[in-house]
């Protein structure tokens, strides 16, 4: 069952290393502005975008597998039909604790697989909105 309680969301929002899959280098796009908000609010943002070399002055990685740093949360800005593969990539790592899909992004089967493997899942919620509501 995906995370819904404010207490669990607050706990997740206390995790500071966030890999953003689909992070955009284009200002004005949600996939750029929301990770920038996280960066501005003390999070370590790790951009994952195979078409960019650098975003926010940080190395952009081609995939989760290419990220050498530890990851707490995988924040997903990709279409719902890509969530399954992203969950597979998250499960291949031993450091990911949470998969968080942004508004209008969900895959119940992939979420169930992630939860069965011990990860927490947040679906169809904006991490910025939840941070502003529960933390700021």
User: Residue 37 falls within a domain, yes or no?
Assistant: yes
Q: What is the CATH number of the domain that holds 52?
A: 3.40.50.720
Say whether pTM exceeds 0.95. Answer: yes
Q: Residue 29 carries which DSSP code?
A: S
Find out whether 86 and 121 touch, Cβ atoms under 8 Å.
no
55: Cα separation from own chain's centroid: 15
Could you tell me what percentage of the chain is helix, strand and coil, using 3-state DSSP and rounding each to the nearest 5? 35, 20, 45
Q: Which domain holds residue 80?
A: 6-134
Residue 11 lies in a domain: yes
Tell whether 39 is covered by a domain. yes
One pLDDT digit (tens) per residue for the chain, 136 residues: 899 999 999 999 999 999 999 999 999 999 999 999 999 999 999 999 999 999 999 999 999 999 999 999 999 999 999 999 999 999 999 999 999 999 999 999 999 999 999 999 999 999 999 999 999 8
Q: What is the DSSP letter of 61?
A: B
What's the domain count of the chain?
Answer: 1
Residues 6+ apart with CB under 8 A from 112: none
Asked, for residue 1, whether it belongs to a domain, the answer is no
């Amino acid at each position: 069952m995906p995370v819904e309680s404010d207490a669990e969301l607050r706990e997740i929002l206390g995790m500071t290393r966030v890999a953003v899959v689909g992070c955009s280098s284009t200002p004005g796009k949600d996939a750029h502005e929301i990770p920038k908000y996280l960066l501005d609010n003390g999070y370590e943002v790790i951009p994952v975008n195979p078409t960019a070399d650098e975003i926010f002055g940080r190395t952009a990685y081609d995939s989760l597998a290419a990220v050498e740093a530890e990851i707490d949360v995988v924040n997903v800005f990709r279409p719902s039909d890509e969530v399954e593969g992203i969950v597979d990539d998250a499960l291949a790592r031993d450091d990911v604790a949470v998969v968080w899909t942004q508004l209008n992004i969900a895959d119940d089967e992939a979420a169930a697989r992630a939860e069965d493997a011990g990860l927490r899942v947040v679906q169809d919620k904006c991490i910025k909105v939840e941070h502003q509501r529960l933390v700021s």
